[in-house]
């Protein structure tokens, strides 16, 4: 794919023409024209975009295929986790000082191995690695940058609760050769694509290139992702909130007031909201994407920047949320996608979900 093709709308694909102008060409939405029981595979969904773009190189498609392969391999490891010796901790801690689980390490290795040789990326960064991950000697450097949280929700691995993988794709900033940290430190608005895989009651891959959010469910017998949720939209409102209330004693007065309001008859809608909290961002976000509501991991007295990582968690989820009609802020008036990262493992407070719910959080917290 060419540099801009990854961001083109699917149903009204804009095709580059020689003089640099863009002509809009209508194509049938995926699924509508497939006319058979096979449905649309993830590969085909991505390929259809590539085929309609003049000058497409196939790089974005190739990168996506590598990510999808990694997702299938990780899904198969997760399913057998209790049988293979991959449950439990490694005994090490990561750059954030958190316990590293065996499955974290395995998933990280799988993603790196699946992507590093493809020639599509110039550098990678992972929540599990202190520094950027270079492309091994002898392999070409591509034009994209891949950042990921290989296994989100580590504390839920051993208790068989949904976990996930989050990824974010940017174009490189440097001109050529090995990518650098500068290629990774880009604002969320610069993302070419973002997505996540949820290893839940089924395995799903959800992605956006910024112009619609599409969900694919893995058929484990076929070993392929099929389009199951097209053009997902987050409901504008929904009376559900998702936050770790165990941290309440450390919250700011504004955050405490907001949650108290949601639990009272003063909540929007005049009755208390329901609480849902899995403790895996991917799972809490996935529910919020499908059902609406708001997920928050605020900053508090102990951790003013909260817990979640900007580049591997907040920014990709914010890209998806906005593409689905939702919103994502830091709870203090700043859009997550506008935050300029200063470090690879930077944390950020996150308020994400239904547009009106995020706005209500912002307004209530601002009153202090």
54 binds ligand FDP (CB under 6 A): no
Burial 125-150 (b: 16+ CB within 10 A, else e): bbbbbeebbebeeeeebbbbbbbbbb
Asked whether the CA dihedral 215, 297, 123, 3 is positive or negative, the reply is: positive
Task: Give the number of C-alpha atoms closer than 13 A to the C-alpha of residue 173, restricted to the C-beta side.
Answer: 10
Q: Which of 12, 155, 160, 343 lies at the binding interface for ligand FDP (CB under 6 A)? A: 155
Q: Are 13 and 56 in contact (CB under 8 A)?
A: no
128 binds ligand FDP (CB under 6 A): no
**Smallest distance from ligand FDP to CB 280, Å:** 5
Please, what is the Cα angle at 69 between 66 and 74, to 5 degrees?
A: 125
Q: Are 358 and 351 in contact (CB under 8 A)?
A: yes
Q: Which is nearer to ligand FDP, 244 or 334 (CB)?
A: 244
Q: Which of 280, 288, 329, 330 lies at the binding interface for ligand FDP (CB under 6 A)? A: 280
**Smallest distance from ligand FDP to CB 293, Å:** 14
286 binds ligand FDP (CB under 6 A): no
Q: How far is CA 126 from CA 70, 78, 150, 286, 321, in A?
A: 14, 19, 7, 21, 21
Q: How many residues interact with ligand FDP (rule CB under 6 A)? A: 13
Interface mask (CB under 6 A) for ligand FDP, residues 188-227, using x and -?
----------------------------------------
244 binds ligand FDP (CB under 6 A): yes
Per CB under 6 A, the segment of 151-159, 178-186, 221-229, 262-270 that binds ligand FDP is 151-159
287 binds ligand FDP (CB under 6 A): no
Distance CA 49, CA 156 (A): 36
Element (H, E) at 151: strand 144-152
Interface mask (CB under 6 A) for ligand FDP, residues 304-343, using x and -?
---xx----x------------------------------
Q: Which of 31, 212, 279, 325 lies at the binding interface for ligand FDP (CB under 6 A)? A: 279
Task: Give the number of C-alpha atoms closer than 13 A to the C-alpha of residue 21, restricted to the C-beta side.
Answer: 4
Distance CA 275, CA 188 (A): 29
How many C-beta atoms surround the C-beta of residue 9 within 10 A? 14
59 binds ligand FDP (CB under 6 A): no
Per the listing, tokens 């990561």 go with: 94
Per the listing, tokens 């007065």 go with: 253
154 binds ligand FDP (CB under 6 A): yes
Q: Which is nearer to ligand FDP, 53 or 317 (CB)?
A: 317
**Smallest distance from ligand FDP to CB 354, Å:** 18
252 binds ligand FDP (CB under 6 A): no
Distance CA 250, CA 303 (A): 9
Q: Which is nearer to ligand FDP, 173 or 276 (CB)?
A: 276
Q: Which is nearer to ligand FDP, 174 or 247 (CB)?
A: 247
Asked whether the CA dihedral 26, 27, 32, 35 is positive or negative, the reply is: positive
Per CB under 6 A, the segment of 13-21, 78-86, 147-155, 211-219 that binds ligand FDP is 147-155
Q: Which tokens sit at 118?
A: 């493809």
160 binds ligand FDP (CB under 6 A): no
Q: Which of 68, 112, 218, 281 lies at the binding interface for ligand FDP (CB under 6 A)? A: 281
Contact positions toward ligand FDP, by CB under 6 A?
A: 152-156, 244, 279-281, 284, 307-308, 313
């Amino acid at each position: 794919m060419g540099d801009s093709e990854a961001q083109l709308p699917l149903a009204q694909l804009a095709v580059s023409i020689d003089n640099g102008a863009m002509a809009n060409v209508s194509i049938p939405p995926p699924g509508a024209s497939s006319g058979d029981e096979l449905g649309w595979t993830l590969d085909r969904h991505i390929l259809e975009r590539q085929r309609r773009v003049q000058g497409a190189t196939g790089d974005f498609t190739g990168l996506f295929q590598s990510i999808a392969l990694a997702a299938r391999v990780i899904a198969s490891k997760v399913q057998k986790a209790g049988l293979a010796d991959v449950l439990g901790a490694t005994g090490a801690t990561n750059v954030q000082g958190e316990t590293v689980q065996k499955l974290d390490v395995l998933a990280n290795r799988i993603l790196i191995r699946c992507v590093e040789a493809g020639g599509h990326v110039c550098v990678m960064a992972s929540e599990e690695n202190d520094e950027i991950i270079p492309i091994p000697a002898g392999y070409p450097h591509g034009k994209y940058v891949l950042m990921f949280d290989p296994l989100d929700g580590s504390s839920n691995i051993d208790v068989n609760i949904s976990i996930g993988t989050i990824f974010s794709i940017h174009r490189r900033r440097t001109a050529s050769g090995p990518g650098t940290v500068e290629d990774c430190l880009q604002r969320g608005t610069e993302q070419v694509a973002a997505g996540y895989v949820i290893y839940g009651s089924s395995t799903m891959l959800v992605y956006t290139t910024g112009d619609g959010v599409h969900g694919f469910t893995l058929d484990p017998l076929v070993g392929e992702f099929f389009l199951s949720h097209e053009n997902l939209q987050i409901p504008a409102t929904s009376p559900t909130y998702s936050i770790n209330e165990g941290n309440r004693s450390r919250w700011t007065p504004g955050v405490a007031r907001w949650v108290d309001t949601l639990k009272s008859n003063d909540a929007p809608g005049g009755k208390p909201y329901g609480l849902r909290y899995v403790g895996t961002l991917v799972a809490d976000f996935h529910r919020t994407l499908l059902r609406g509501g708001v997920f928050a991991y605020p900053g508090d007295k102990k951790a003013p920047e909260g817990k979640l990582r900007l580049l591997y968690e907040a920014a990709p989820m914010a890209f998806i949320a906005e593409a689905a009609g939702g919103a994502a802020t830091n709870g203090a008036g700043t859009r997550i996608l506008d935050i300029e990262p200063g470090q690879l493992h930077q944390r950020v407070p996150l308020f994400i979900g239904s547009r009106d719910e995020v706005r209500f959080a912002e307004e209530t917290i601002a009153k202090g």
